[in-house]
Structure 1
């Protein structure tokens, strides 16, 4: 499968899910939290409180994994990569005003993209995997993209 077809499949899969699980670490202890990410091409965005526990974890260890399980068809989408917080106000405004997220960010940050607590996390994937329960039961290998 070509890269463009793979990413089309990833975007279609992610669009079916509202929530994903973000794994971070504190020392050697994994921590998992529910997030509502948004894909933009090959990048993944997460809006979160800049003072949140996950933000503190990423500031210390930027390696993350994001996992989606989609619907009754049990499709699994896993994104492994590196996260960082974007502090550039121009980029924060671009994402905010570009409606990259499918929900109103001002529900959480009424002060807009300039809000002190608006944390814009960018996950740059190293590896992305798509599979389903149906495929796993037939022995089909997951589809994998690597940077």
Structure 2
């Protein structure tokens, strides 16, 4: 009799475990994607460091971070509560770093960096803390060269 009474209970538990596993797997369906090659820029350029979720997920209400571990403070750009957080941003990037806020609903977290400087060269981290997911982007900065004229 004990075996019969445990049958339905075991089936209910099994269904619950499978349901929980499916929920866990579905949460991590989107993946943060960055470029596979370094981004190359010339001093003075305006450039985009690509980073997006695939498939697209609305991240406008999430916290988003762009950082460089070799900087202090390390924050190049922070989006929190639907706005740019300036008080923790590295001073070198104030007024030069931005997101395409109208594209956050499509999962585009790409960083726009204006007036690139040699000191901007390095490895950038695009990070979504809620998802504990990141993507790295390498920026290589070269000096602009003038054409050489000879007689």
TM-score of the pair, normalised by structure 1: 0.30
TM-score of the pair, normalised by structure 2: 0.30
Structure holding more strand per residue: 1
Larger of the two Rg values belongs to structure: 2
